[in-house]
Chains A and B, each alone.
Chain A
Amino acid sequence: MRHYSDTDERHIRAQAAVREWTRNGLLDSAQGEQVLAQLTVDLVRTNGFLRLALALFTAVIVTAVVLLVMSSVGLTSNTSFAVVTGIVALVCFGLAEMLAGVYRFYRFGVEEMLAVASAVLLSVSAAEFWSTVPFHAGADATTIGLVVGACCGFGVYRRFGFVYAALGSMVCAAGIPFQVDPDPAGRRALAAIMLVVVFLVVRSKRVRHGEEWPGDEYGQLQAAAFAGIYIVLNLKLGREFFFGWFYWFTYVMTFVLPLLGLALGIRDKDRPLLDVSITMAVVTLVTNKPYLGWPRHEWDPILLGVLLMAAAIGLRRWLAKSPSGERNGFTAMPVVSEHRTLLTLLSAVPFAAQPHGHAPAVEPTPTGFDGGHSGGAGGGGTF
């Protein structure tokens, strides 16, 4: 089913590991070259930056072509939009197949964006087509789009191995209950059940394969499904209002899920699951007050930050204190420095997200009648 053989996939991951070890001095360059010579693959690849740019410009082309066909032929109806997007989706998929199959492109950006575009366009086409059908048989156009999107995303993952396509498929599938179930609690429960099923399926595969390919992919999908369950069940991440037993059930789950994830992640040394669970635990601390209806204060982020820093420093010291510098396979020492591309991109993040907001405008001098914080016996300005 997949374009790339098991050997190719394993060699590519081994190449990445050998390069990382060489970069970090665990192997000298001669040893690295020697090992890499035994791990050759006949695939066309590129680095992360060119891959991103190639994907971006491919998206520009696909978008321009769809709009060009629509505007040049003068098509405006839903049916014609469905036909055009459907045809372009098939063309995109054919090109992606050719690039991956004939030219042996692997994570090259172009074939990735073409495959993803084919899935998106086909789901848009299906939704548009469905909206023109007189009798909808109980499903609206968005539901049909999500169903087709879920199937296409899964198909793209199976064919090309793009894990993010499987994640997209999962998101589409989890979105379906939000379209079909009118009860807010019911649709969240249904979505959570779907994600639990996905989690259990991919977890069984992850356990069977371990960290080696394809276990690494299943590990990422498992963590994503677990995060999905949490997102669906943490009601404070949405804007709907809930009451009763379901509300308090989800409150308990916001604590149970991170703890369960941490326990499984630590036991199995499962990095993606551990990362997701730590994030979930932090989100639980953030949403705890809104859940209980307690007032929020300006100093809450500071307290949270201090708590997290204390926890991290305590954990680090506890790990470092052991005679061998590790406990149960966990160490505070950096073994290898990974994700150089990610680090480069992250280093630009502060520019778009400075920690300082605008200071608020200075309040006008109180007149004595506009507030009740002092001398107002607790009454507000409207008292």
Chain B
Amino acid sequence: MLYFGCLLFGVELGFLEFRFHLLQANWDHYLLLSSVVYFALAYRFDNRLVLSLALSALAGWFGLRLSHLLWFPGSLRGYALAYAAVVALVGVGLHRIRIQKHFLEAYLHVAANVALAALTTGVIDRRASALYILGLPGLAAAAIVGGLKFRRFAFVIYGVIYAYVGVSDLVVRDSTSATGGLTYFALSATAVIVGLVVLARRFGHDA
């Protein structure tokens, strides 16, 4: 109900702007306003889904929107990494001072996805800095190790998938042979599956 109410609040803000053009060119401040409201409601009612909504609205205010999420232009990639760092730090900070400690995972899900997506698109973008090529495996490895250590397997999967996409692009980007590229995908995916099966057998049905 709370989540639904929050969605409705967003729709109403959109309607107000559509009809009355209150903020006009500064319409993105609605995102900041709704983010603040959602944060307050999430902590008041202890609701993780609303917290995610607050984080997404905040991300929108940072300049990340769906149209950009699939492909961060160079200037937005830095904002994305900054946003991910801020979200992770806020999550860890609130966890340390014991305010809704269980929200930490939601903060880290968002931060990990945004940071890994930004780094992956940085690897794919040939004009981007080579630092992304170092950063992606590093962060992916951190996500995998942390996920295994704390048995949060979603982070393991994030690390595996983003790293696979980035590395695959590096491997096949200059390939002129379709056969070579397809052979790479068949063999590399098999290797990933073997690794995941080993993990799955080790950790069993733990969630």
Chain A residues packing against B (C-beta within 8 Å)? 44-50, 52-54, 56-58, 60-61, 63-65, 67-68, 71-72, 108, 110, 298-299, 301-302, 305-306, 308-309, 312-313, 316, 340-341, 343-344, 346-360, 362-363
Q: Which of B56-64, B90-98, B132-140 contacts its partner?
A: B56-64
Interchain CB contact under 8 A, B196 and A340: no
Please report the C-alpha to C-alpha distance between residue A351 and residue B12 in the assembled complex, in whole angstroms.
Answer: 19
Q: Is the CB of B113 within 8 A of A61?
A: no
- Chain B residues near A58 (CB, 8 Å)? 189, 193
Distance between Cα atoms of A286 and B57 in the complex (Å) = 26
List chain B positions with a Cβ less than 8 A from chain A: 1, 4-15, 17-19, 21, 23-25, 27, 30-31, 34, 48-49, 51-53, 55-57, 59-60, 65-66, 69, 105-106, 109-110, 113, 153-154, 156-157, 160-161, 178-179, 182-183, 185-186, 189-190, 192-193, 196-197, 199-201, 203-207
Decide if B30 touches A356 in the complex (CB within 8 Å): yes
Query: 13 A-B Cβ contacts within 8 A?
Result: A49-B156, A50-B199, A50-B200, A54-B193, A54-B196, A56-B161, A57-B196, A65-B186, A302-B11, A351-B55, A355-B7, A356-B34, A359-B27
A68, B14: Cβ atoms under 8 Å? no
B182-A67 in contact (CB<8A): yes
Q: How far is the CA of A250 from the CA of B21 in the complex (A)?
A: 40
B-side contacts of A72, CB under 8 Å: 179
* Pairwise interchain contact A352-B66, C-beta atoms closer than 8 A: yes
Q: B199 and A346: CB pair below 8 A?
A: no
Question: In the complex, what distance in Å separates the CA atom of A52 from the CA atom of B200?
Answer: 12
Q: Is the CB of B197 within 8 A of A54?
A: yes
Cβ–Cβ contact A350 & B189, under 8 A: no
Selected contact of A110 from candidates B7, B56, B197, B207, CB within 8 Å: B197
Q: Are A68 and B4 in contact (CB under 8 A)?
A: no
> Nearest Cβ in chain A — how far from B67, in angstroms?
9
CB contacts (< 8 Å) of B10 on chain A: these are 354-356
The SS class assigned to the A binding surface is helix
Give A80 to B65 CA distance when docked, in angstroms. 44
Query: Smallest CB–CB gap between A59 and chain B, Å?
Result: 9
**Which residues of A are found within 8 Å of B60, using beta-carbon distances?**
354, 356
The residue in chain B whose Cβ has the minimal distance to the Cβ of A48 is B207
Min CB–CB distance A156 → chain B (angstroms): 20
Determine whether the beta carbon of A362 is less than 8 Å from that of B204: no
Contact between A64 and B1, CB atoms less than 8 A apart:
no
CB-based contact A68/B183 at 8 Å? yes
Q: How far is the CA of A362 from the CA of B27 in the complex (A)?
A: 11
A70 CB to closest chain B CB, in angstroms? 9
Chain B contacts for A351, CB-based, 8 A: 52, 55-56, 59, 69, 110, 113
Within 8 Å CB of A47, what residues of B? 153, 200, 203, 205-207
List, in ascending order, chain A residues with CB within 8 A of B55's CB: 350-351
The answer to whether B113 touches A348 (Cβ under 8 A) is yes
A-B pairs, top 4 by smallest CB distance, nearest first, are A355-B10, A46-B200, A359-B27, A305-B8
Please, how many angstroms separate the alpha-carbon atoms of A306 and B12 in the complex?
11
Bound together, the chains give a CA A68 to CA B180 distance in angstroms of 9
B49 touches A347 (CB 8 A): yes
Docked-complex contact B53 and A350, CB < 8 angstroms: yes
Nearest opposing residue in chain A for B24, CB measure: A362
Min CB distance B46 to A, Å, is 12
Cβ distance A114 to chain B, nearest Cβ, rounded Å:
11
Whole-angstrom distance between the Cβ of B47 and the nearest chain A Cβ? 10
**Residues of A contacting B186 with CB < 8 Å?**
61, 64-65, 68
- Looking at the assembled complex, report how far the CB atom of A113 sits from the nearest CB atom of chain B, in whole angstroms: 10
Contact residue among A44, A50, A347 (Cβ-Cβ distance under 8 Å from B153): A50
Residues of A within 8 Å of B106, CB to CB, are 347
The answer on a CB contact under 8 Å between A45 and B205 is yes
Contact residues in B for A344 (Cβ distance below 8 Å): 105, 109, 154
> Looking at B57, B69, B197, which has the most chain A CB atoms within 10 Å of its CB?
B197
Q: Shortest beta-carbon distance, A63 to chain B, in Å?
A: 8
Task: Give Cα A56 to B162, complex, Å.
Answer: 13
Which residue from B4, B53, B182, B204 sits with its C-beta under 8 Å from A46? B204
Tell me whether A60 and B189 are in contact (CB under 8 A).
yes
Roughly how many angstroms separate A312 CA and B4 CA in the complex, as a whole number?
11
Within the assembled complex, what's the spacing in Å between the Cα atoms of A299 and B8? 11
CB-CB nearest in chain A for B65: A354
Complex Cα distance, B9 from A298, in Å, reads 14
Evaluate contact between A71 and B56: CB separation under 8 angstroms: no
A53 to B204, CA, bound (A): 15
| Nearest A residue to B12, CB-CB | A302
A343 to B190, CA, bound (A): 30
Among A341, A355, A363, the residue within 8 A (CB) of B207 is A341
List residues of chain B with CB within 8 A of the CB of A61: 185-186, 189-190, 193
Say whether B179 contacts A71, CB under 8 Å. Answer: yes
Given contacts A350-B53, A359-B17, A362-B25, contact A53 B161 (CB under 8 A): yes
Contact A362 B56 (CB under 8 A): no
B1 closest partner in A (C-beta): A312
Which chain B residue has the least Cβ–Cβ distance from A348? B109
Minimum CB–CB distance for A84 against chain B, Å:
13
Give Cα A9 to B153, complex, Å.
25
Q: Given the complex, which residues of A lie within 8 Å of B59, measured CB to CB?
A: 351
B80 to chain A, nearest CB (A): 12
